[in-house]
Structure 1
Amino acid sequence: MEVSLDWKNFFYIFSQFVGFLVGVVLIFFGFRKNRPNILLGFNFLVLTYSSFIIWLITTSYFVYFPQLYRTGNFTGLLYMPMMYLYIRMVVSGKKLQWKDAFHLIIPFVFLVDYWPVLLLDSSEKLALIKSEISNPALFTSFNQSRFFPDGFYTPFRSFVLSIYWILSVYWVRKGSMKIGKEVFSKEWFAWIKVFLVLEFLVFFPFFLLFWTVDPITAFHLVHIAIVLLNLSTAFSLLFFPKILYGLDKDLFFSHLKKQKSKTEILENLSKEKSSEIETKIKVVLEDQKKYLQHSYSIHDLSDDTGIPTYLLTLYINNVLNTSFTDLINKKRIEECCQLMASRKYSHLAIEGFAKLSGFNNRNSFSLAFKKFKDMSPSAYYKTQIN
């Protein structure tokens, strides 16, 4: 089997690679952190398998994989309820129950219907493949059904997908009204809405154009949409790492709760205590100018003031509305500007001013200077000596 790497083959193979990779990552981190992601990962592997089957049909490479004959429709029918169950599980927060096995009836019926075909040996399957593979529309019409007429499964599959899509939209809409400001939920709902829009394109064009376009065109519209759904949504997860890697929500909210409790401590401090913190910081930073020490850290400030690190952080962040780094760098830049204006250090280069001001290197000095003075240190220095 030789595969030519033209744009079409590259597109299909790349979509399979991305879908498979994302599926494996979701399942791996799902077992470790976020169990619903196991189901999402399974769905991506199923979508990837469907993309692989579509590629085999489109390129006629199916003759090299006769044992896979008629397995694609089963996985497609399996994907539809499983994706819906994933969405419902995430939105409702409830685990799957035994009664959810009801959703497996449709793929099970297909399995029973095509069981004799699935049990054929490879040579018999290969003969069936060769008789249909030249016409993809005929190949996907599923004419070996024991229970249903020829061509039944193609429109039926789109109908089933549309039903599960409507149910999924219901759950997403219901959940969207309750998400509030929670970061994790916002990211998930943003991604799942993109997913549902792309999934809509899988079945809607079929219903819209099925009676007006030729079977080959209908085949390509539906099946390329499936490949695009797999590639686009899997690739988009790379931009939603909280979903892809299943960050531990419990750990996040536990940390958030601790931070909130510390904020409440600060809010409940007496004015005298807040004034004491302010005074001690002023003595250390303004009178003693400890910020001129290289690599001066918040732990050093805590030692110099006798105030716990977490209280200093909360005070600086919530009362002064800044960060420790910005607080220190701002004072260093102010000191540097005074040194430049004094004209006592005209022999120094920019690096010299940076070291005198407490910076370890020119790069961090330049970035801080531009942040607080909106110009480079060299440009500012020129304004002082001219």
Structure 2
Amino acid sequence: MKWDWLHFVPALLHFIEFIPFYLMPTQEKIEYLRYAFSHVEILSKQQEGFLPANFHPFLKTFTGIVYEFFQSLILFSVYKKERIWVRKNKVVWNWLVRLTFFHSLTYLFVFASYVLFFSKVDMRVYSVLPLGFTQFFCTINLIFNPRILYGMKEIKDEVLVSESTELPIMINRKVLSFVKTQNYKKTLDRYLEHEKPYLQKKYSIRDLSADCNIPVHYLSIVINDQYGCNYSDFINRYRIQFIIENRYSEFGRSLSLEGLASEAGFNSKNSFYTAFKKNVGCTPSEYFARQIE
């Protein structure tokens, strides 16, 4: 991601701050560490690097609050844009919301303690509180709700794309470059023109995806953006064109209009009449009556 490098900044600043310690003679470092391990209670009161004593626990807590703030923003954004994913992954979603809320509450409590009781408490106690409470929270949740560990469900194609509705906004069209879109469109046009798969009844978008070797979600984006319709309307256009072209051929004359519609891939008379009127603007009878005139 574009801004992932920012996660490295705290570690880099921490490294720079401790340069004085790194430059100390080896024997002096050893003595300092021995003293620190034998007098743990005074560690938080000693100056660490360039920063004053007691400042590190405060800084770590403040960093935690910043992370929780942005994590909350991400969750809010996902909830607004990925409603289908949220519904399909309720267990994981609820876990993420609860964990973020619990983290935020703990960090805010610790931060408030620093501000209100800075000189009266051992900062080391408060610095380990977020970690300790988080471990406790995670353990309790996993014991009583182990389904959290089962992972997230993928949004299946039928959820991503409905054959009878417009393409959901949640799909990001930027994932397809112009060149890739045009290549997919050419593949699609060529296959439909030569193979005529739309003549099969119940020919689904998944069938077309497999036949053209185009991922379903990409195929949906191409159909929606390049042809201005959903899959159902798209495939019905080809069926109606087939009926129009063959109505007065030797093959078409041997069948009733409904029979020809069935050969074109329509499942029923109603679906044929509805699709024909939607695409042509009138009923099949009216259209062909005009052609005879």
Same fold (TM over 0.5): no
What TM-score results when the alignment is normalised by the length of structure 2? 0.43
What TM-score results when the alignment is normalised by the length of structure 1? 0.34
**Larger RCO, structure (CA 8 Å, separation 6 or more):** 1
